[in-house]
């Protein structure tokens, strides 16, 4: 079958493998095994939805379980794998804990390395040149733009991610969350808290 | 109401290190739309037929080792071509297509 057309958006004729995929989808639709909508739903979901919920589970567990926290800070890969997360590119994870005197922030000054098995896809600003440069040169200003104001005596540590090492920030458990369940805690642990550009607060869960 | 598709993390775990989805810094790589359609079809077919991922993974790993990337073919292109092989093999074995 010749397949010539002159659509500007499709300058090439469909490749053999593309035609094969189309034929298979048509056949499966005919057999009632797939519908276009169902396939669309999967593609849309997977293209967008790799959320930070894995990271939130890791952090919440560390907040309620001191032994787990210890394991997480000494061997993050193993501790994260305990919860069933991890993967190909997330192999060398280091978790850095915020304390009353130290605030941690992650960046990738070279490109956009990111602990995706626990945080999903990086936000656009994380990949932007201004963040990559300014997180290092003026972290306090960057933090204040994110609405985070730290006391002057709090040391800010910047962790530069690479293909070999990915960092994750373990934020401090906020006051007012005593007695909360792990699931309730997970809800206030946002992506930005684990990048270090936000602090979790007890209030957010009331709104959720 | 049809069931929600499984989370991507579930698919990642099911495929394991043996045949991981092509990614670039965590983001799935779809160089052409058919590659996304192939992934979507696979997920939907397994959901609908109840075929286990381990069965699909076996077919996928076999296809990848039997038909590695050819010259001029990208890694993602080769992977999803093998994905189609695996899907067809699984469906044929189960008598769902000829």
Prediction ipTM score? 0.93
Residues A141 and A181 reside in one and the same domain: yes
B14 phi/psi in degrees, rounded to 5: -65, -35
* Euclidean distance between CA atoms A74 and B79, whole angstroms: 36
Flag whether residue A23 sits within 8 Å of chain B, measured between CB atoms.
no
Round to whole Å and give the CA distance between B34 and B21. Answer: 15
The residue among B24 and B19 whose pLDDT is bigger is B19
Domain total in chain A: 2
Q: What percent of chain A has pLDDT over 90?
A: 64
Q: What range does the domain containing A8 cover?
A: 1-49
Residues from chain B that touch A112, judged by Cβ atoms under 8 A, are: 25
CA distance, residue A165 to nearest chain B CA (Å): 12
* Strand A166-170 with A155-160, pairing: unpaired
Q: Which tokens in the block code for residue B56? A: 């699909």
Under the phi-then-psi rule, with left for phi > 0, alpha for psi from -120 to 50, and beta for the rest, what region is A84? left
Other beta carbons within 10 Å of A167 = 27
Return the domain boundaries, chain B: 17-93
Q: How confident is the model over A149-160, as a mean pLDDT?
A: 95
Nearest to B12 by CA among A80, A85, A167: A85
Digit-coded pLDDT (tens) for B36-74: 999 999 999 999 999 999 999 999 999 999 999 999 899
Q: Is pLDDT above 70 for A2?
A: no
End-of-domain residue from the set A12, A32, A49: A49
The answer to whether residue A193 is catalytic is no
Q: Name every chain B residue with its beta carbon within 8 A of the beta carbon of A34.
A: 40-41, 44-45, 48
* Residues of A whose CB is below 8 A from B91: 28, 33
Mean pLDDT within A7-21 = 74
Give the least confident one: A39-53, A116-130, A165-179. Answer: A39-53
The reply to whether A185 and A108 lie within a common domain is yes
Question: Contact B37/A39, CB-based, under 8 Å?
Answer: yes
Distances (CA, A) of B40 to A25, A33, A69, A92, A188: 10, 12, 37, 30, 32
User: Does residue A2 carry a catalytic annotation?
Assistant: no
Q: Is the pTM of this model over 0.80?
A: no
B34 touches A34 (CB < 8 A): no
Closest Cβ–Cβ partner in B23, B26, B38 for A21:
B38
Q: How close A90 gets to chain B, by Cα (Å)?
A: 9
CATH number, domain of A86, equals: 3.90.330.10
Any idea which residue has 């810094």 for tokens? B25
Burial of residue B56, with CB atoms counted within 10 A of its CB: 0-12 exposed, 13-18 middle, 19 or more buried = buried
Read off the pLDDT band of A193 (50, 70, 90).
very high
Per-residue pLDDT at A12: 63
> Are residues A69 and A123 both part of a single domain?
yes
Mean pLDDT to the nearest integer, B3-32: 80
């Amino acid at each position: 079958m010749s397949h010539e057309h002159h659509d500007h958006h499709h300058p090439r004729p469909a490749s053999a493998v593309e035609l094969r995929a189309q034929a298979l989808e048509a056949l499966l639709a005919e057999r009632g095994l797939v519908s276009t909508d169902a396939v669309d739903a999967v593609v849309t979901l997977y293209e967008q939805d790799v959320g930070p919920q894995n990271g939130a589970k890791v952090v919440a567990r560390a907040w309620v379980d001191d032994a787990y926290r210890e394991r997480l800070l000494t061997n993050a890969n193993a501790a994260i794998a305990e919860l069933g997360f991890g993967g190909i590119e997330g192999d060398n994870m280091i978790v850095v804990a915020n304390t009353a005197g130290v605030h941690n922030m992650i960046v990738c000054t070279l490109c956009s390395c990111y602990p995706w098995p626990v945080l999903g896809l990086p936000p656009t600003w994380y990949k932007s040149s201004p963040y990559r440069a300014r997180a290092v040169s003026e972290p306090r200003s960057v933090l204040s733009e994110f609405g985070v104001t730290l006391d002057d005596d709090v040391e800010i540590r910047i962790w530069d991610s690479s293909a070999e090492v990915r960092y994750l920030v373990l934020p401090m458990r906020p006051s007012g969350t005593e007695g909360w369940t792990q699931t309730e805690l997970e809800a206030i642990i946002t992506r930005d808290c684990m990048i270090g550009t936000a602090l979790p607060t007890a209030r957010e869960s009331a709104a959720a | 109401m049809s069931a929600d598709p499984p989370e991507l993390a579930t698919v990642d775990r099911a495929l394991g290190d043996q045949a991981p989805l092509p990614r670039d810094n965590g983001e799935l790589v779809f160089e052409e739309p058919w590659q996304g359609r192939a992934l979507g079809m696979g997920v939907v077919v397994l959901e609908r037929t109840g075929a286990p991922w381990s069965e699909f993974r076996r077919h996928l790993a076999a296809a990848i080792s039997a038909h590695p990337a050819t010259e001029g073919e990208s890694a993602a292109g080769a992977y999803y071509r093998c994905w189609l092989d695996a899907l067809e093999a699984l469906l044929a074995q189960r008598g769902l297509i000829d």
